[in-house]
Amino acid sequence: MHIKKFLLVGILSFISCSTGNLDVIADLPSDLPEISAVEKFPNSDLLWLIEDAGNDNVLYGINFNGKVEREITITNAKNKDWEDLTTDNKNTIYIGDFGNNNKKRDVFTIYKIANINTISDKAVATKIDFELPKKMKSKDFEAFFLFRNQFYIFSKEHKKGLVIKVPNIEGLHTAELVTEFEITGKRSKITSADISEDGQSIVLLNHDKAWHFSNFKGDDFFKGNKKMLDFKHSSQKEGICFFGKNQLLITDELQGSHGGNIYSYNLD
């Protein structure tokens, strides 16, 4: 951990100020322009990435220089609209295939890939499918995390959204509505989420900011402390994860000559 922090500090010392409150760690591979998520295991030097709708059904492991070191094809999956990643403490990664821009999906899928360190280049995923409650209209989802063996999934909507939860159990489930939440501001659509390793705080991402929630009880995430993190930088940011307790890693999509980076943000 000390070596990784030292390397990260060294990298950040060369960064310009053109990205507001964000520091650029590395460029993402130019042949992966539509990165939609980033996730990291503790005590690992790799960042895991996916691309969104219509791209390959592949997990990419890259280093902190932005170089792809691992590619894992999920052989029993199709990238209908992969939007986010989350992990557990058992070397398992989960892919959220629940994007729904046209609001026509009836069934959503989470792919579970266990023992990722033992996989070479192909994997068969366990499928966790879910439907929405009968009275809930079809929604677009782009953000989730795993907490107490339940997936908490956030809808992508202007100002007021929904949180649903689904058990981490193979098979088809009906999602349970947890709560509504409301975020003020011109840009409030949630594109990614993560929970800290200790389960004490969460972050929700948007294109030019994030919201940090802490000191909540149970899964009442919005009843604790709330802080808006203004990046002073706007781009199509689609991925966020914790890097230790006090740092975030963020990715954005490549649009022309803009974006396509891995950034860090200090919570202190």
Q: In what order do the strands lie in the sheet with 35-39?
A: 35-39, 47-51, 58-62, 68-74, 122-123
168: CATH: 2.120.10.30
Q: How confident is the model at residue 13 (pLDDT cuts 50, 70, 90)?
A: very low
Pair 116, 69: CB distance under 8 Å:
no
**Integer Cα distance of 157 and 161 in angstroms:** 5
76-126, pLDDT tens digit by residue? 999 999 999 999 988 999 999 999 999 999 999 999 999 999 999 999 999
Split into its structural domains, the chain has a count of 1
Range of the domain at 61: 2-266
52-76, pLDDT tens digit by residue? 999 999 999 999 999 999 999 999 9
What global pTM score does this model have? 0.92
Q: What is the mean pLDDT of the chain?
A: 92
Pair 35, 41: CB distance under 8 Å:
no
